């Protein structure tokens, strides 16, 4: 192979005139196909120059084929459905909560229509987008007022910036959380313009520590739900009630970042207790912040609820404009919250809650069907069995809780567990399992139908 071969590469115009490219040009547009052709030829030119271009000896028709394939690959949607057998119900990397069908329909409606996002239809005047959900949040949490932003990180940022800009916010050292790498409380505080006043130690903070930290600079006391870890052993933290009692006479607002924050008492449904917005407000918090797409099971959003005095200041903050939700989010959130008015319906219709509260027997039945299908497909090449397994709520919800589940475990004669994991990721849609104790597993807690793991007659 030598540089002489460069002259065999077709010109871009010559390539685009290939009749076999006409359909691709009609579908993707001439300019786009031209750009792709340029990249393809440029790559071949480079390979030839580097002496690795053996495959560059192609006819223009063959080059046209390469360009056609590249254009097809480029137009394949990047965001695509996957099947969550990871053993983590609310998985941030897999897009967290799934919307209830009603909520998805509401989002679709809002996506394709003009809506009364900020418009009072009766009066024909301008409205406030918060009105769509505020009343529902008040009803469900007992708050005096509420507002909604892009996500809970935005909710914390906006609340801190409003209530503590230029002042100090007191936080226990046991609650200086980092969530998923990019949400670190100290960084969010400095971005919101408030100074962090750490009190106590990692495992023990006393009310007296808060009391000693108070000065004329104190603007806010913040607690953060330690959502993705537990400090256990020799520990103490004052209760919300104690903090509220001490903060109130001093006129220091008290905010609790609940993170996953349940809207229902999950202990009623066999899960451990997770603090709800209502009880935290009842305990005396002035403001709570909650993620929309964790335990709540709605769209990505951040809910701020609490005393009217503080919520109205938060609503007036100009940052709110930069952090607000769009109509599609608000439609899905409104619909999700409406379902919560009837807790039984919420458990049944909101996928996150349905998955978390499903019985192991029900999961086992779906797992048995998937096992049967997989046995049929793999034949003697794999040993497939049901495994009593443990899964997690994820996204910092119910952190200490091992939730019993059932996995389909697969040992393959030729493929190791990681190869099996890759094999399942190549299915359409990809199935995401996990490897535990050197065995590949498909956790079935979030699977309602064996078909979604393995179609009846899988062929490649």
Residues that bind ligand PLP (CB under 6 A): 151-153, 156, 177, 179, 183, 224-225, 227, 257, 259-260, 291, 302, 395-396
* Spatial distance between the Cα atoms of 174 and 397, rounded to a whole number of angstroms: 18
CA dihedral of residues 433, 437, 438, 440 (deg, nearest 10):
-20
* Spatial distance between the Cα atoms of 132 and 135, rounded to a whole number of angstroms: 7
As measured in angstroms, the least distance from the Cβ of 180 to ligand PLP is: 7
Q: Which of 308, 288, 334 is nearest to 141 (CA)?
A: 288
As measured in angstroms, the least distance from the Cβ of 413 to ligand PLP is: 42
Which run of H or E residues covers position 439?
A: strand 439-443
Q: Which of 153, 134, 141 is nearest to 330 (CA)?
A: 134
Strand partners, 120: 125
As measured in angstroms, the least distance from the Cβ of 259 to ligand PLP is: 2
As measured in angstroms, the least distance from the Cβ of 192 to ligand PLP is: 13
Q: Are 375 and 365 in contact (CB under 8 A)?
A: no
Pick the closer one to ligand PLP by CB: 48 or 255: 255
As measured in angstroms, the least distance from the Cβ of 225 to ligand PLP is: 5
As measured in angstroms, the least distance from the Cβ of 201 to ligand PLP is: 20
Pick the closer one to ligand PLP by CB: 248 or 273: 273
Burial class (CB in 10 A: 0-12, 13-18, 19+), 402: exposed
Pick the closer one to ligand PLP by CB: 87 or 302: 302
Strand partners, 178: 184
As measured in angstroms, the least distance from the Cβ of 75 to ligand PLP is: 31
Q: Among all residues, whose Cβ is closest to ligand PLP? A: 259
Q: What does the H/E/C string look like for 151-163?
A: CHHHHHHHHHHHH
Q: Which of 287, 262, 257, 266 is nearest to 276 (CA)?
A: 262
Pick the closer one to ligand PLP by CB: 147 or 407: 147
Pick the closer one to ligand PLP by CB: 96 or 441: 96
**Contact residues for 73 (Cβ-Cβ < 8 A; gap 6+):** none
As measured in angstroms, the least distance from the Cβ of 69 to ligand PLP is: 38
Q: How many residues does the chain have?
A: 460
What sign results for the dihedral spanned by CA atoms 336, 340, 341, 344? Answer: positive
As measured in angstroms, the least distance from the Cβ of 183 to ligand PLP is: 5
Coil, strand or helix at 411: strand
Pick the closer one to ligand PLP by CB: 86 or 151: 151
Which pair of tokens denotes residue 351?
Answer: 């996928």
Interhelix angle 101-112/327-340, nearest 10 degrees: 150
As measured in angstroms, the least distance from the Cβ of 397 to ligand PLP is: 8
Identify the DSSP state of 99: P
Coil, strand or helix at 203: coil
Pick the closer one to ligand PLP by CB: 41 or 156: 156
Q: Are 204 and 375 in contact (CB under 8 A)?
A: no
Pick the closer one to ligand PLP by CB: 156 or 384: 156
Pick the closer one to ligand PLP by CB: 238 or 259: 259
Pick the closer one to ligand PLP by CB: 256 or 403: 256
Pick the closer one to ligand PLP by CB: 174 or 302: 302
Q: Which phi and psi angles does 289 have, rounded to 5°?
A: -125, 140
Q: Which of 257, 204, 207, 256 is nearest to 232 (CA)?
A: 204
As measured in angstroms, the least distance from the Cβ of 175 to ligand PLP is: 9
């Amino acid at each position: 192979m030598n540089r002489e071969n460069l002259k065999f590469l077709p010109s871009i115009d010559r390539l685009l005139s290939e009749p076999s490219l006409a359909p691709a040009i009609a579908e993707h547009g001439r300019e786009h196909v031209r750009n792709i052709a340029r990249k393809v030829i440029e790559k071949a030119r480079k390979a030839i120059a580097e002496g690795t271009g053996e495959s560059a000896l192609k006819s223009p028709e063959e080059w046209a084929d390469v360009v056609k394939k590249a254009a097809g690959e480029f137009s394949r949607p990047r965001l695509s459905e996957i099947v969550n057998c990871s053993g983590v119900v609310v998985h941030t990397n897999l897009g967290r909560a799934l919307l209830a069908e009603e909520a998805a329909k509401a989002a679709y409606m809002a996506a394709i229509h003009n809506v009364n996002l900020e418009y009072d239809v009766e009066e024909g005047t301008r409205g406030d987008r918060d009105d769509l959900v505020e009343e529902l949040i008040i009803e469900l949490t007992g708050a005096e007022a509420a507002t909604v932003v892009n996500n809970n990180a935005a909710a914390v940022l906006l609340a801190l910036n409003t209530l503590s800009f230029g002042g100090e916010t007191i936080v226990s050292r046991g609650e200086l959380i980092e969530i998923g790498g990019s949400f670190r409380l100290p960084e969010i505080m400095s971005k919101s313009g408030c100074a962090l006043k750490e009190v106590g130690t990692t495992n023990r903070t006393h009310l007296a520590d808060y009391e000693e930290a108070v000065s004329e600079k104190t603007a806010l006391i913040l607690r953060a739900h330690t959502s993705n870890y537990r400090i256990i052993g020799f520990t103490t933290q004052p209760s919300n009630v104690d903090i509220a009692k001490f903060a109130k006479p001093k006129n220091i607002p008290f905010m609790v970042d609940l993170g996953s924050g349940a809207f229902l008492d999950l202990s009623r449904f066999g899960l451990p207790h997770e603090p709800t917005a209502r009880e935290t407000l009842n305990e005396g918090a002035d403001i709570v912040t909650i993620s929309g797409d964790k335990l709540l099971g709605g769209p990505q959003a951040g809910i701020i609820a609490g005393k009217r005095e503080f919520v109205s200041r938060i609503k007036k903050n100009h940052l709110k404009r930069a952090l607000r939700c769009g109509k599609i989010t608000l439609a899905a959130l409104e619909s999700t919250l409406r379902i919560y008015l009837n807790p039984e319906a919420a458990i049944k219709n909101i996928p996150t809650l349905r998955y978390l509260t499903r019985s192991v027997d029900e999961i086992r039945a779906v797992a048995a069907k998937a096992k049967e299908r997989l046995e049929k497909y793999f034949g003697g090449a794999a040993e497939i069995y049901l495994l009593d397994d443990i899964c997690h709520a994820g996204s910092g919800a119910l952190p200490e809780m091992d939730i019993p589940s059932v996995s389909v475990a697969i040992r393959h004669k030729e493929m190791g567990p990681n190869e099996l994991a890759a094999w399942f990721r190549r299915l359409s849609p990809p199935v995401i399992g996990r490897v535990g104790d050197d065995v590949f597993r498909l956790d079935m807690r979030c699977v309602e139908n064996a078909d979604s793991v393995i179609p009846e007659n899988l062929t490649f």
